[in-house]
Structures are given as C-alpha cells and as structure tokens.
Amino acid sequence: MTDRGDQPDAADRTASADRGPARDRHVPVMRDRILDLLAPALDREGSVHVDATLGMGGHAEGVLDRFPGATVIGIDRDREALALSGERLARFGDRFRPVHAVYDEIAAVVAGLGLTAVDGILFDLGVSSLQLDETDRGFAYRVDAPLDMRMDQSTGMTAADVLNTYDAADLARVLRDYGEERFARKIASAIVRERQIELFTTSGRLVELLRRAIPMASQRQGGHPAKRTFQALRIEVNDELEVWRRAITGAIDVLAVGGRIAVLSYHSLEDRTTKQAFVAGATSSTPPGLPVELPEHAAYLSLVTRGGEEPPDAEVALNPRAASAHLRVAERVRATPPTSATTSATKSTKSTKSRKGSTR
C-alpha cells in the first residue's frame, strides 16, 4: 500500500500517454444517480469520500466537481489506472489523494491517512474499462492476447497459470462457481486434454476450445461462448469474491454515522454479497420475544435503495457496458464498536502477503 508519494514509473506514464487521456476512454456508469444518492453525505465542507475502485477517475471527478468541500481518496491496485486518473484529476490538487492498494485494505488506508471515519464510499466492481480496452491484458475474449487477467500485473498468478496447472476438478469448480457455467466439467476436461499437447498462452486458442466444447444451441441462446469462462478466470486470478467479502465489511466499519456507501456490481455473485451485508446491517439482531429492542442490537444501516437499481435504457444505449449494472446504496445510522474494523484492517494487511492476485 502506498500513498501519493509513490508515483507511477516512467513506463506507466508512457503507456498511459500512448493510449490517450482517461476522460476520452471512460464513461462512468450511473454517475449522476450515484452523485444524487451520495449528496446528503458529501455536500458539506470537509467531507471525505473514498473511491475504492478508482479506475480512470470518472466517478471521482464527478464527486470533486459537484462537491467543492469534499476530498477524495482514490484506491486502485492497477498502477496504470492511478497514472491515468492522476493526470485527469491533477487540477484538484490536494483534494485528490491516490493510493496504490487493493480495496479490501480500505480500513488500513483510511487509518494510514490519519482518519477514523469517512463520509462517502463507492465501489464500482468488476473489470474496468481500462483493462477491457487494453488488449495485452487478456481480459477481452474478442481479441487474441496473452492470458494474463491480473489487475495488478506486478504480482500473482495469471489466467494461463490457472489453465495450465489446476486439475480438472478445480477448473470445473472455478467455472461453475464463478462463471455459473453449465458445461464446466466438459470444458475443464477439454482444457486438460489440450494442455497436454501444448500449454495455453493466449486467449484465441481458449476461445476456439470453448466454441467446440459448448453446444451450438447454447451458444445461440447464451451469448458469446467465452463470456462465462473469462469471467470465472478473472475472478479466480484476482481472488475477487473473497476480496469483496473482506472489503464490504471493512468499508461499513469506517463509514461515519450519516455517511453513505454505494456499490455497483455487474454479476449476481457480487450483488448477492452486497445485498447480504446491507440487509444484515439494516436488520435488528434483538433476540425474538423481547418486549423492547436492545440498543446494542439495533440496525446500524438504512437501505437507501430498495433492491438493485438498474441504469435507464438511454444510458445503456450510450454505454453498453452499463447493461448488467446493479446499484445498491446504504446509509450508516448508528455507530458500533470498532472491533470489526480493526480485525478487517489486520486481516487485509496479512492477506496481501499470500494473495494469489491483486479488484481493479
């Protein structure tokens, strides 16, 4: 984890410049709706907002523009994303604080900056526009590229490592649990057979295998045959679901009373974890049968959105990547003992030593 003093190196800056400015490459999903929902927490002098999945800085720019009294802490594990967003947000000076970290380290990041709580938090989960647009990262199945898929390319196993070393049972588990792939066992068996002939190195060969393994009837009904497998590999490489479970707990812990947390998710596994965390916080844990609610068991969250809001059709038409988005927002209404925040920060620090990959 590093603060603003750890600037991207020359290679990061050169790569960023070659691909063009972030503002021209990224349309932030549901930006105006998110700003409206966060406004009660951020529209005041001295408010602090954490963009825990900074990406190319589109949402952070919206916060800094709309709420002139706010400071934004931007977290990202991808150094090139930090370079691009840093250029985009340089005009805001010290109101923007970039941090190189994984978002499950949010409690440690906040504490490291000398803060005890923040007023707003945003998570925009999944793969970023930056990573999808860079063909050499291996996230996009429509382009033949090295099978990397690491969000932090400085550490951890690649998608090729998963394909070439996992046994058939583990491959099937990854495809079934993280990709919700109906043909997980069939695909896993085909991968094991193919890698005995030649190890997997690029996405094109994997896509061809998937076209052969998945029945044509399913391909006609279910979209691109590689969609679910690539999602599953990306989640496994970056340990996304475990990171997200830790992150949502740590984020709620550092949210001030009156603060709001917004989560944009793009598949059911992420959204389910978000829903469970929000509903648990918004539900009293007072034992049944007691005549009055015990203060220590009262709900500490209030649901601002009911269910997962979807982007309007007009936005999806302009930005197809918004199509699968679901937005949930909750407000902190009661303080709780800071035990879980301490635990979350400690686990986050320890987990970076053994994490297989490093979300967004």
Please tell me the distance from the alpha carbon of residue 140 to that of residue 44, in angstroms, as a whole number. 41
Summarize the annotated binding site for S-adenosyl-L-methionine as residue ranges: 57-59, 76, 103, 124, 131
Summarize the annotated binding site as residue ranges: 57-59, 76, 103, 124, 131
> In this structure, what token pair is assigned to residue 358?
């490093």
Please tell me the distance from the alpha carbon of residue 115 to that of residue 76, in angstroms, as a whole number. 19
Contact (CB, 8 A) for 118 and 107: no
Residue 309: CB atoms within 10 A of its CB come to: 18
All residues at 6 or more sequence positions from 101 whose CB lies less than 8 Å from its CB, including other chains: 1, 2, 75, 76, 77, 108, 109
Please tell me the distance from the alpha carbon of residue 98 to that of residue 89, in angstroms, as a whole number. 10
Query: Half-sphere exposure of 243 toward its Cβ, with a 13 Å CA cutoff?
Result: 28
Q: In what order do the strands lie in the sheet with 301-303?
A: 96-100, 71-76, 48-51, 118-124, 255-265, 326-332, 301-303
Residue 142: CB atoms within 10 A of its CB come to: 12
Nearest to 117 by CA among 69, 53, 73: 73
Helix/strand/coil (H/E/C) assignment for every residue in 138-162: CCCCCCCCECCCCCCCCCCCCHHHH
